[in-house]
Structure 1
Amino acid sequence: MNIKRSLVLFLSSYGCFLFGQEKSIDTIYIFDSQMNKVKQFHPIKIITPSEMQKNSSNLSELLRFQSDVYIKENGRGAVSSPSFRGTTAQQTAFVWNGININSNFLGQGDVNNIVLFGYDQIGVKAGGGSVTYGSGAIGGSIHLNNILEFNKGFHGSLFSEVASFGTFNNFVKGSFSNEKFSFKASVNYAVSANDYEVPEYVTGITPFKNINGRYYNTTFNVGAAYKIAHDQTISWQSQVFDASQHYPIYESNGNRTKYNAQTLRSVISWDVNKENLSNSLKAAYTEDNFQYFSALNLPKTSGAEGKNYIFKNDFNYFITPKINFNAIGEFQVNKAQGYATGIGTISRNVGSLAGMIRYFVNKDLRFEAGIKKDFVEGISSPLLYSFSGKWTPLQWYHVSASFSRNFRFPSFNDLYWQPGGNLDLKSETSSNVDMNHEFRFGDFKVNLSPYYMDIKDLIRWLPTPYGYWAPINTNNAESYGLESQITWNKNFGRHGLKINAGYTYSKSINKDTQMQMTYVPLHKAVGSVDYRFDFLRIYAQGLINGLTYTTTDEDRTKAIDPYVLLNAGVSADILKKYTLGFKVNNLTNTVYQTVRDYPMPKRNFSIYATINF
């Protein structure tokens, strides 16, 4: 059954759309079994591999220009964290093939220690999602998905890029599939001296140079699926990642440090898709290790090793063609061992049970209600819930709304780091209200998404009278605003034109002080124009970032000033198998920063080639 026929099923039998999508394994297999269900009620921005190549420096650059997320980056390629709708990095969930991969130590994901290439799609979902994706899915979630296709034969491609600052980026992938078996593998290697200069930005008495900014990373992805029966598939997906980031310093005789990270992720899934039910049973193992070196040529100063054993079952049943029941159970064993961090040998059990009912009244109206209870060893967790609905009152207008309760439980560093760890911490909780209005006028599509969040028991690290910092549940916060998106796509014979524009207003305040939260720009706008003529493609990207406070008292002298960035690129397809391209980043040579005192590169260039075979 192909995708087109699945869509026909939806038009003819309303709720069977979900069933139709799940039966489409004859054509395509997506490892995140919840993704298609979530898309029925919430907008998700999907970024394809061709879009990834426009911002191939790293995942930070991609999200900065192609999403509403604000990215804090301590200089290009260094420590980087996301902010969804004015929330913190710990309130953003990274989901790899349906598995939450936020660090057990930090409770977040370092964006520059998550590889850009090797995924078949990247999904960006704003709004709460803890009922489906667990701890940390308060502000939003970023989904890193792999897809396996059947009966497609052999395909391969090679991408190679040379860029400013001694940067080299290489990615190769290959796949083979027949009616019963599918296999895909890829390797990515990126390295950069990263020694850019910003003469206009003076630190002390010296113009800024990104000394000791070198980084490299290597990634290997492999996936396979086999149909043991027409309605059953066994699949496997693994990723190995190794990286090193050197921390920038301001003076050439300063102390040079670095941070090494290694991750291993592997998931095996047994999927059953029958006439009115489906079940996805997953067993996963993830490993998250890091080492900090206070001097490049000395042994590690500190570090930690984390291992997670995960079992997850997703059962989906159509009671009637209009009523769908979904139950999700998950159990994890989180293990960790620290080195010179005060963290000893730790083991924690985490479990959860969730149930959801979806009611498809007709093809224009649907509802979903969900409830979930987490069981975290040693930590009290709240009862979570979500209510969603989507209605199409007019052919050109869709409206959806959701209300949810979400949470984040304390990380290992929050609890056990010494000195400072606090075993009495409570989980952060939030109440989220989201709406989305979608208008379609011919080739135009407009989305308007107002939202509101009330967050309680924020965990913050603060100085103590004893001379060290410690985490405590402190002030509450609220965040509200508007996300908007306009797209226009038109083909004129051999010509094609696509325009995207988005604007975000984010008001996120500490309810005790009524001050804007740090590193939350009040205004952000992104846009792109893509023009295609036969074998030639030209694109331009723009970003406008508003005033961004870096201190809790809204000190204007320490704030990041507004800035405007432009990128542009051109590529040509040659003999249908080869692509040559050229890109210019920061076309206007703007001096800007996303974290105070860490300026980003000025104008820089790259050339790349792609071979398909």
Structure 2
Amino acid sequence: MDIKRSLVLLFSSYGCFLFAQEKTIDTVYVFDNQMSKVKLFHNVTTITPQDAEKNSTNLSELLRFQSAVYIKENGRGAVSSPSFRGTTASQTAFVWNGININSNFLGQGDVNNIPFGGFDQLIVKSGGGSVSYGSGAIGGSIHLNNNLDFNRGAHASLFSEAASFSTFNNLLKASYSNEKFSFKASGHYSISENDYEVENSNNYINRNGKYNNTNFNFSAAYKIAPHHQISWISEFFNGNQHYPIFFESQTPTKYETQNVRSLISWDWNKTKFSNSFKAAYTEENFQYFGNINGPKTSGGTGKNYILKNDFNYFIVPKLNFNLITEFQVNKGEGYASGIDHISRNVGSVAGLLRYFTTKDLRFEAGVKKDFVEDISSPLQFSFSGKWNATNWYDVGISASRNFRFPTFNDLYWSPGGNKDLKPETSYQFELRNQFNIAGVQLSVTPYYMKIKDMIQWLPSPLGYYSAFNTNRVESYGIESRIDYERKFGKHNLRTNLGYSYTKSTNLDTDKQLMYVPFHKLFGNIDYQYDFMRLYVQGMFNGLTYADTNEKREDALEPYFVMNAGVSATILKNYTVGFKVNNIFNQVYATTAFYPMPLRNYSVNLNINF
């Protein structure tokens, strides 16, 4: 019997805390144990490894075509950042197996330097989540999760792809598990010359655009006693990006990064309570080269030592108390930045109460206080409720206060850092409506958000850029999505269509924030018959201003991009696929001056052992 697994099943099926039932099942251990609770109250988008293969180039492409997130990318494979609901990249939390991994220096993650090939699921959550996932979870959060299966024996798979612009992707996975022990490993390597041309956009050539990256994942779990389990996971990443230049006469530059993440967890699960204690270490190293053939011109090293405890107690079958405590030591050392051996202690205490009146009505209330060295942090709160009004309609509400504290660059960069900065804070409200009629699931979520003390780098009277608490930002809009799936005989059809409208205004200037499109539409159609599979996906992006003054002549024009792919499974274990990206040869850019590729192709082979 696995108590934790039974409770998770009850969470998903009935939406209430009941004492676990006796059942012998193959168990699954999930490192991010908060996510099973988040799903009870919030709509999330889950992207499986099979869906990720449709957009295997990088994480930017995957999020662009399969979620409502706007991705600003300086050309294919280059610097890339996300935007949720009209916020900035710094207001998006990247969460690795329950641990916030945003950079100590920039306070954000470079999407193309976050590998996704070795993960078991990618989860996209819109809306604030600082109570559960910490600083930066204002606009939304992106979760990269691994899990470990028991009683599954030995398995292995190889995914290999060759694509346009001398691009090659290879991913190898292997796993073994029995009743008490589970182990999983993966290795991913990607390389591309990335020298595409866009003749219809001023004859643009992506000069000096090559990139390569390597990633390894290792994880294991052991059941040391009937109610106790020890788990471990580690990830190692090495990336190299060359930054595009416009003319041959320009000096080519590049950026290199090396990241290490490691986590040990001790889980104790009983009928009425559970406790998960985690100790984690994360490290980021980066170097910028003003000349690819010269020594580094700037860089830095950030290290985080993290202790986190998640305690759940079932007061009565319908009432659950959740206490989350965390302590971190954040260290940073810059090169040619004025940041010299910085250390900061960060602690937090969060309490959440969940009450289930019936299996159709549930509430959650949470409060959290952060203790950040030398920074006054606000009290955060969250409230969510969900009501299954009928068998075809659910309604949910959420209100929260979220925050982001200043980064090392914001505080200590020389010149320009500002030690007097205050944290950004936001208030958010959303109303979730979900309909399920004749197998069609429709979700419609209007939302409102207000941010104050936003941190921006602006020209100072001394002639250089400096960090200031400036703008008040108001963002409102709607997110909607339709999902439909049907199986009949050997036929299987899955479709989804998402639309979002975003109005994000700087209240000091009454202008739309830059790189926040008013409209985004994305959709996927996946059809499978016996051993054949066909998919089509499309993405429309509306008018997007590329400056803070809403200059129409400098804005990114609306565009529609469509991809398609086909695959065939041979002898059960071999799958061969072919993809066409940007079928209609659309000229488009997600960042001014950096067009994305025109029509391009790839072939892939997937082998299961």
> Normalized against structure 2, the TM-score is what?
0.98
Spell out the pairing of 1:60-71 with structure 2 (5 A cutoff): 60-71=60-71
Spell out the pairing of 1:378-393 with structure 2 (5 A cutoff): 378-393=374-389
Contact kept in structure 2, 1:23 and 1:273, CA below 8 Å: no
Offset, 1:523:
0.2
Contact kept in structure 2, 1:10 and 1:363, CA below 8 Å: no
Offset, 1:232:
1.0
Spell out the pairing of 1:180-195 with structure 2 (5 A cutoff): 180-195=180-195
Contact kept in structure 2, 1:23 and 1:274, CA below 8 Å: no
Question: Structure 2 residue aligned with 1:582, among 554, 578, 586?
Answer: 578
List per-residue Cα deviations over 1:377-432 (Å, max 9, x = no partner): 01110000001100011011111101000000000000001110000000000001
Contact kept in structure 2, 1:22 and 1:278, CA below 8 Å: no
In structure 1, what is the equivalent of residue 515 of structure 2? 519
In structure 2, what is the equivalent of residue 162 of structure 1? 162
Q: Cα 1:12–1:479, aligned 2, differ >3 Å: closer, same or farther?
A: closer
**Residue 76 of structure 2 is aligned to residue 76 of structure 1:** yes
Offset, 1:139:
0.3
Task: Give distance in 1, aligned partners of 2:457 and 2:354.
Answer: 41
Task: Give distance in 2, aligned partners of 1:159 and 1:12.
Answer: 34
**Residue 56 of structure 2 is aligned to residue 59 of structure 1:** no
**Residue 172 of structure 2 is aligned to residue 172 of structure 1:** yes
In structure 2, what is the equivalent of residue 594 of structure 1? 590
Offset, 1:94:
0.3
In structure 2, what is the equivalent of residue 151 of structure 1? 151
Q: Cα 1:215–1:571, aligned 2, differ >3 Å: closer, same or farther?
A: same
Task: Give distance in 1, aligned partners of 2:395 and 2:477.
Answer: 17
**Residue 455 of structure 2 is aligned to residue 459 of structure 1:** yes
Question: Structure 2 residue aligned with 1:541, among 523, 537, 547?
Answer: 537
Task: Give distance in 1, aligned partners of 2:489 and 2:249.
Answer: 60
Task: Give distance in 2, aligned partners of 1:247 and 1:7.
Answer: 45
Task: Give distance in 2, aligned partners of 1:50 and 1:39.
Answer: 21
Task: Give distance in 1, aligned partners of 2:193 and 2:15.
Answer: 55
Offset, 1:465:
2.4
SS at match of 2:590: strand
Q: Which moved more, 1:255-264 or 1:490-499?
A: 490-499
Q: Cα 1:547–1:23, aligned 2, differ >3 Å: closer, same or farther?
A: farther
Question: Structure 1 residue aligned with 2:425, among 418, 425, 429?
Answer: 429
Task: Give distance in 2, aligned partners of 1:461 and 1:260.
Answer: 24
Offset, 1:594:
0.2
Question: Which letter does structure 1 place at the counterpart of 2:193?
Answer: A
In structure 1, what is the equivalent of residue 345 of structure 2? 349
In structure 2, what is the equivalent of residue 43 of structure 1? 43
In structure 1, what is the equivalent of residue 400 of structure 2? 404
**Residue 366 of structure 2 is aligned to residue 370 of structure 1:** yes
Task: Give distance in 2, aligned partners of 1:258 and 1:10.
Answer: 47
Q: Cα 1:20–1:477, aligned 2, differ >3 Å: closer, same or farther?
A: farther
Question: Which letter does structure 2 place at the counterpart of 1:328?
Answer: I
**Residue 442 of structure 2 is aligned to residue 446 of structure 1:** yes
Contact kept in structure 2, 1:21 and 1:36, CA below 8 Å: no
Question: Which letter does structure 1 place at the counterpart of 2:166?
Answer: G
Question: Structure 1 residue aligned with 2:239, among 243, 257, 260?
Answer: 243
Offset, 1:116:
2.1
SS at match of 1:90: helix
In structure 2, what is the equivalent of residue 485 of structure 1? 481
Question: Structure 1 residue aligned with 2:546, among 529, 546, 550?
Answer: 550
Question: Which letter does structure 2 place at the counterpart of 1:238?
Answer: S
Question: Structure 1 residue aligned with 2:568, among 559, 565, 572?
Answer: 572
In structure 2, what is the equivalent of residue 279 of structure 1? 275
Contact kept in structure 1, 2:11 and 2:37, CA below 8 Å: no
Task: Give distance in 2, aligned partners of 1:20 and 1:434.
Answer: 32
Offset, 1:231:
1.3
Contact kept in structure 2, 1:6 and 1:24, CA below 8 Å: no
Contact kept in structure 1, 2:20 and 2:271, CA below 8 Å: no
In structure 2, what is the equivalent of residue 294 of structure 1? 290
Contact kept in structure 2, 1:11 and 1:363, CA below 8 Å: no
In structure 2, what is the equivalent of residue 128 of structure 1? 128
Task: Give distance in 2, aligned partners of 1:56 and 1:116.
Answer: 9
Q: Which moved more, 1:118-127 or 1:2-11?
A: 2-11
Contact kept in structure 2, 1:504 and 1:524, CA below 8 Å: yes
**Residue 411 of structure 2 is aligned to residue 415 of structure 1:** yes
Task: Give distance in 2, aligned partners of 1:465 and 1:357.
Answer: 49
SS at match of 1:373: strand
**Residue 16 of structure 2 is aligned to residue 15 of structure 1:** yes
Question: Which letter does structure 1 place at the counterpart of 2:582?
Answer: N
SS at match of 2:131: helix
List per-residue Cα deviations over 1:2-53 (Å, max 9, x = no partner): 8996577459976226x75999995100000100011110111110000000
Task: Give distance in 1, aligned partners of 2:7 and 2:154.
Answer: 25
Task: Give distance in 1, aligned partners of 2:15 and 2:277.
Answer: 27
Q: Cα 1:11–1:366, aligned 2, differ >3 Å: closer, same or farther?
A: same
Question: Which letter does structure 2 place at the counterpart of 1:403?
Answer: A
SS at match of 2:52: helix
Task: Give distance in 1, aligned partners of 2:24 and 2:334.
Answer: 45
SS at match of 1:201: coil
Contact kept in structure 2, 1:215 and 1:245, CA below 8 Å: yes
SS at match of 1:598: coil
Offset, 1:491:
1.0
Spell out the pairing of 1:109-128 with structure 2 (5 A cutoff): 109-128=109-128
Spell out the pairing of 1:219-234 with structure 2 (5 A cutoff): 219-234=215-230
Task: Give distance in 1, aligned partners of 2:21 and 2:100.
Answer: 23
Question: Which letter does structure 1 place at the counterpart of 2:98?
Answer: G
Q: CA RMSD in A?
A: 1.6
Offset, 1:253:
2.3
Task: Give distance in 2, aligned partners of 1:474 and 1:81.
Answer: 21
Question: Which letter does structure 2 place at the counterpart of 1:538?
Answer: L
**Identical-pair percentage:** 64
Task: Give distance in 2, aligned partners of 1:592 and 1:67.
Answer: 19
Question: Which letter does structure 2 place at the counterpart of 1:502?
Answer: G
Unmatched segments (≥5 aa) in structure 2:
none
Contact kept in structure 2, 1:14 and 1:322, CA below 8 Å: no
Question: Which letter does structure 2 place at the counterpart of 1:438?
Answer: Q
List per-residue Cα deviations over 1:50-95 (Å, max 9, x = no partner): 0000000000000000000000000000000000000000000000
Q: How many residues align?
A: 608
Question: Which letter does structure 2 place at the counterpart of 1:67?
Answer: S
Offset, 1:513:
1.5
Offset, 1:178:
0.3
Q: Cα 1:319–1:302, aligned 2, differ >3 Å: closer, same or farther?
A: same
Task: Give distance in 2, aligned partners of 1:476 and 1:272.
Answer: 44
List per-residue Cα deviations over 1:108-143 (Å, max 9, x = no partner): 000000012000000000000000000000000000
Question: Which letter does structure 1 place at the counterpart of 2:16?
Answer: G
Question: Structure 2 residue aligned with 1:212, among 208, 214, 219?
Answer: 208
Contact kept in structure 1, 2:48 and 2:120, CA below 8 Å: yes
